[in-house]
Chains A and B, each alone.
Chain A
Amino acid sequence: MAGGFGQADWFGVGLVKPIESSARRRQQTCSTGENPKLSVRGRTDLATKSSPKPNAPEVPGGGFLRRLASGVSLTAEAGIEWTIRLCGWSAILFVFAIFFFVLREGAPVLFGELDLVEFFTSTHWQPTSLVRPRYGALALMVGTLSVTGLAMLLAVPVGLGAAVYISEFCQGKVKETLKIVIELLAAIPSVVWGFIGLMVMGPLLMDLTGAEVGVNLLTGGVILALMSVPVIVSVGEDALKAVPDSYREAALALGASRWEIVYRVLFPAAKNGLLAAVLLGVGRAVGETMAVLMATGHAVQIPYSLLDPIRTLTATIAAELGEAVKGGTHYRVLFVIGLLLFAISFVVNLTADVIVKGIKGESRN
């Protein structure tokens, strides 16, 4: 099950790279080597790509048609290989395309009329004002930051704790069950989370705290925490699993208890992976749209208490792009916000990736 189905990466994060580079190298040498050109079960289409060689054995009964068929299949195979290559490169293509098309829509105001100082320092977000539209996104950024921060405050301890529990303290059926539950938790759509925040947690919070509105920073934070915890748990668990067993055995031989192993050995050894887990959780929380759109109250303001409603960058795009005039300034400013989000997620993912690669390099040495 090593690297197999058991640890399917449910978030498409792909941090855990299958270890087969050496295998692949073998494959290279093997397939480029001088294979004797044999036909398998007499089928001509099984001849290799580079078959037009003088010393290739004659295909029995090879007439014109047969040679034609073989030629066609070789061309087809080259075509297939190129299709596969293109598909492999498609991920790069799409990332660039996303950047390009979002930039293309946002560029006219980004390099033109948008006052970047106002954008980053003003809290006046009045895009539809007839007198003087203003595009100060500070309150939105603070909104995103505060709700993400709150979510991380709740999610990181719980997520890492759960990762440690799953990885170190339980086994067998319990472990499998917990992992499946976490997977299912990750699968719940964000709009359902938003609905839960709006219809269940909001009213509950109003009853408990006497807040004026149920949808606010706290509700959004709790919902986001529940949404980003699965990422933290699964990446964190991978990080703990990547610590060699010899570390645990050495600690056990010195008389350490399991708790001592966890916080004296595993935490220091896996700290990069755990940091990456947290970062990916942050990435998920920053980029979340529907849940925060529905559960944070949608008020452009800097929050001063946990029970203040807020609005985030993502929610602003989702709520306003539909109504904004196509090609207008407001419309393009929303694309600039999108660009900002893209940049944030890019940096977060890149950092997480570099950190993880860092551990892999160390553990190999």
Chain B
Amino acid sequence: MAELRYCLAWKRPDGSFQPGETFASFAEAATALSAWQPQSHSGALSTQEPCCTDQVEIWCSCQDEPATVLSRPRYSFVVYGTVAGGGGDGSEAAPWWGLQEAITGLVELERSGQLALRHGQRLRLCHREVFATSAGQKRKARAENIAKTVFMAMALMLVAPVLAILVYLLVKGWPALSLSFFLENPRERMTAGGIWAPLVGTFFLVFISLLLAAPVGILAGVYLNEYARDNWLTRIINLAVVNLAGVPSIVHALFGVGVIMFFAELRRNYGIWVPFEDRCLLAASCTLAVMTLPVIITSTREALASVPMSFREACWNMGATRWQTIRTIVLPNSISGILTGVILQVSRAAGETAPILLTGAVFSVPVPDHGWRAFVPYGLHDRCMALSMHLYTISTQVVNVPEHVEYGTAVVLIGLVLAVNSASIALRVYLRSRKKW
């Protein structure tokens, strides 16, 4: 068993280590460390280990064998070398405070047997500035940057394709967009002409569904926010609203068809008056109204909830009843919020296809080109055309439609919906900016 030798190796400015004195015991070598004067700013080092500005090593080798140095030190400790004080355990997270503390610590560790250098192994002591960023912190910052970038990429992944698609649609549909495209009816089996008839049809559908859904939806919102107590009935209503919003649009269509069949049966068997008994504009509008009801209910509720309670209390203290309070205080103060919900309903209803596909919208209806009938081409009990349905028809059912007509129709539909939506958003932003309370 050869004697072990401990050699102090000082760091040179170029990064390599310069072996220095040799000691017979670890404790002596450690004590000799007190001669170390750590460099604060060592450019060559900082690139390798960012937290350490200077290092010193203790190399261990057998007396009679040549010193071979392993690539990585066996032990690595950190010290705040230029301060005095005490504490720390030499680890990355809690370096020793001061060189003296480090020496004591090393000797202590060696004596207790937790630290045993064998031939060819090294111990490294790193000096760190007190306020320098530690490697852990650096890692953390890097992880945070990566996470942030990844999340940002995810958010952008939503935005970028949409913008790309919108621009693409617009470029492809641009040749079709002219005033006559809006004002002419489809001609020659939809391969020529414009989109007037479907546009009017969509307008009628949306308008009638709005007439039906807005009062019911707004009053339902009023009920939920102003009248309903916190009991099981309210909970069921909330659940019903959530479910109504979640029912697939095609099931709404089936509902519409079911109601039409039911009404037709009533009419046939009992001769009772029914609003509609076949697929028609009114039936489609009713289906759309049911479908968009939750949108209005939810936004009305939110608008009402934003009116401060104190407004209501003041009004009650004047002796007003609940309905008077609602009519004179709550509704006027939240009318614009309710309006955003109504606008939203319009955009929802204008874009829907599935519910009207089976309940009233058809591929093509002969529509007069001139006179006042061109503006009111559909009666309540007529079948009608609609823009969304028209887009579906010309892109899947009809052959030989020029591409720019298809893209033009898509652009008009998407433009319509986005314009209505943007109006709602703009109204909301404006309201928030001038809110009084």
> Is B428 within 8 A of A8, CB to CB?
yes
Interface residues of B in 229-274 (CB under 8 A from A): 229-230, 236-255, 257-259, 261-262
> A8-B344, A40-B319 known; A25 and B230 CB under 8 Å?
yes
Taken together as a complex, chains A and B put the C-alpha atoms of A212 and B148 apart, in Å, by 39
> A6-B432, A104-B262, A165-B152 known; A259 and B147 CB under 8 Å?
yes
Instruction: Please indicate which of the listed interface residues B168, B230, B257, B428 has the most CB atoms of chain A within 10 Å of its own CB.
Output: B257
Contact with A along B330-354 (1 / 0, CB 8 A): 0000000100110010011011111
> Is B309 within 8 A of A26, CB to CB?
yes
Chain A interface, number of residues (Cβ within 8 angstroms)? 120
> Is B243 within 8 A of A95, CB to CB?
yes
Chain B interface, number of residues (Cβ within 8 angstroms)? 117
Give the residue name and chain of the A residue nearest to B309 (CB).
A23
State whether the Cβ of A132 lies closer than 8 Å to any Cβ in chain B: no
> Is B250 within 8 A of A287, CB to CB?
yes
Taken together as a complex, chains A and B put the C-alpha atoms of A260 and B395 apart, in Å, by 49
Inter-chain contacts of B246 with A (CB < 8 A): 13, 280, 283-284, 287, 345-346, 348-349
State whether the Cβ of A242 lies closer than 8 Å to any Cβ in chain B: no
Q: Separation in Å of the B262 CB from the closest CB of chain A?
A: 6
Chain B interface secondary structure, helix, strand, loop or mixed? helix
> Is A94 within 8 A of B306, CB to CB?
no
> Is B158 within 8 A of A185, CB to CB?
yes
Segment touching A, from B4-12, B106-114, B290-298, B377-385: B290-298
Interface residues of B in 394-432 (CB under 8 A from A): 395-396, 406-407, 410, 413-414, 417-418, 421-422, 425, 428, 431-432
Segment touching A, from B44-52, B83-91, B220-228: B220-228
Taken together as a complex, chains A and B put the C-alpha atoms of A76 and B357 apart, in Å, by 40
> Is B228 within 8 A of A4, CB to CB?
no
Give the residue name and chain of the B residue nearest to A312 (CB).
B250
Contact with B along A223-247 (1 / 0, CB 8 A): 0001001000100000000000000
> Is B158 within 8 A of A233, CB to CB?
yes
Give the residue name and chain of the A residue nearest to B165 (CB).
A196
Inter-chain contacts of B255 with A (CB < 8 A): 97-98, 101-102
Interface residues of B in 138-190 (CB under 8 A from A): 140-141, 143-144, 146-148, 150-155, 157-159, 161-162, 165, 168-169
Q: Separation in Å of the A110 CB from the closest CB of chain B?
A: 13
> A199-B406, A257-B143 known; A48 and B248 CB under 8 Å?
no
> Is A40 within 8 A of B320, CB to CB?
yes
Instruction: Please indicate which of the listed interface residues B228, B251, B293 has the most CB atoms of chain A within 10 Å of its own CB.
Output: B251
> A283-B246, A335-B258 known; A164 and B151 CB under 8 Å?
yes
> Is A81 within 8 A of B323, CB to CB?
yes
Contact with A along B123-141 (1 / 0, CB 8 A): 0000000000000000011
Inter-chain contacts of A181 with B (CB < 8 A): 158-159, 162
> Is A188 within 8 A of B418, CB to CB?
yes
State whether the Cβ of B67 lies closer than 8 Å to any Cβ in chain A: no
State whether the Cβ of B17 lies closer than 8 Å to any Cβ in chain A: no
State whether the Cβ of B216 lies closer than 8 Å to any Cβ in chain A: yes
State whether the Cβ of B299 lies closer than 8 Å to any Cβ in chain A: yes
State whether the Cβ of B302 lies closer than 8 Å to any Cβ in chain A: yes
> Is A8 within 8 A of B299, CB to CB?
yes
Inter-chain contacts of B161 with A (CB < 8 A): 226
Chain A interface secondary structure, helix, strand, loop or mixed? helix
Instruction: Please indicate which of the listed interface residues A198, A259, A335 has the most CB atoms of chain B within 10 Å of its own CB.
Output: A259
> A5-B340, A317-B254 known; A87 and B165 CB under 8 Å?
no
Contact partner, A88, options B159, B219, B299, Cβ 8 Å: B219
State whether the Cβ of B62 lies closer than 8 Å to any Cβ in chain A: no
State whether the Cβ of A121 lies closer than 8 Å to any Cβ in chain B: no
Instruction: Please indicate which of the listed interface residues A84, A164, A178 has the most CB atoms of chain B within 10 Å of its own CB.
Output: A84
Taken together as a complex, chains A and B put the C-alpha atoms of A259 and B244 apart, in Å, by 37
> Is B392 within 8 A of A77, CB to CB?
no
State whether the Cβ of B303 lies closer than 8 Å to any Cβ in chain A: yes
Contact partner, B391, options A18, A77, A165, A192, Cβ 8 Å: A192
Inter-chain contacts of B341 with A (CB < 8 A): 8
State whether the Cβ of A129 lies closer than 8 Å to any Cβ in chain B: no
Taken together as a complex, chains A and B put the C-alpha atoms of A80 and B50 apart, in Å, by 74
> Is A5 within 8 A of B248, CB to CB?
no
Contact partner, A287, options B247, B347, B388, Cβ 8 Å: B247
Inter-chain contacts of A84 with B (CB < 8 A): 219, 222-223, 227, 323
State whether the Cβ of A214 lies closer than 8 Å to any Cβ in chain B: no
Interface residues of B in 282-308 (CB under 8 A from A): 290, 292-295, 297-299, 301-303, 305-306
> Is A190 within 8 A of B353, CB to CB?
yes
> Is A102 within 8 A of B147, CB to CB?
no
Q: Separation in Å of the A263 CB from the closest CB of chain B?
A: 8
Inter-chain contacts of B154 with A (CB < 8 A): 157-158, 161-162, 165
Inter-chain contacts of B237 with A (CB < 8 A): 88-89, 91-92
Segment touching B, from A30-38, A64-72, A111-119, A135-143: A30-38
Segment touching A, from B18-26, B94-102, B310-318: B310-318
Give the residue name and chain of the B residue nearest to A41 (CB).
B318
Instruction: Please indicate which of the listed interface residues A9, A77, A189, A196 has the most CB atoms of chain B within 10 Å of its own CB.
Output: A189
> Is B392 within 8 A of A4, CB to CB?
no
State whether the Cβ of B358 lies closer than 8 Å to any Cβ in chain A: yes
State whether the Cβ of B324 lies closer than 8 Å to any Cβ in chain A: yes
Inter-chain contacts of B312 with A (CB < 8 A): 27
Taken together as a complex, chains A and B put the C-alpha atoms of A48 and B315 apart, in Å, by 12
> Is A49 within 8 A of B253, CB to CB?
no
> Is B143 within 8 A of A31, CB to CB?
no
> Is B318 within 8 A of A38, CB to CB?
yes
Taken together as a complex, chains A and B put the C-alpha atoms of A102 and B252 apart, in Å, by 9
Give the residue name and chain of the B residue nearest to A192 (CB).
B414
Taken together as a complex, chains A and B put the C-alpha atoms of A90 and B294 apart, in Å, by 11
> A5-B428, A13-B246, A158-B154 known; A192 and B413 CB under 8 Å?
yes
Give the residue name and chain of the A residue nearest to B312 (CB).
A27
Q: Separation in Å of the B116 CB from the closest CB of chain A?
A: 33
Taken together as a complex, chains A and B put the C-alpha atoms of A338 and B14 apart, in Å, by 77
> A188-B418, A191-B353 known; A287 and B251 CB under 8 Å?
yes
Taken together as a complex, chains A and B put the C-alpha atoms of A71 and B103 apart, in Å, by 97
Give the residue name and chain of the A residue nearest to B318 (CB).
A40
State whether the Cβ of B321 lies closer than 8 Å to any Cβ in chain A: yes
State whether the Cβ of B118 lies closer than 8 Å to any Cβ in chain A: no
> Is A346 within 8 A of B243, CB to CB?
yes
Interface residues of A in 31-57 (CB under 8 A from B): 31, 35-40, 46-49
Give the residue name and chain of the A residue nearest to B396 (CB).
A294
Instruction: Please indicate which of the listed interface residues A2, A9, A13, A158 has the most CB atoms of chain B within 10 Å of its own CB.
Output: A9
State whether the Cβ of A83 lies closer than 8 Å to any Cβ in chain B: yes
9 sampled A-B residue pairs with Cβ under 8 A: A14-B298, A26-B313, A48-B320, A188-B351, A191-B388, A196-B169, A226-B162, A287-B250, A349-B245
Q: Supply 7 further A-B pairs (C-beta < 8 A) apart from A14-B245, A191-B413.
A: A178-B159, A187-B417, A199-B407, A259-B148, A287-B251, A321-B254, A350-B239
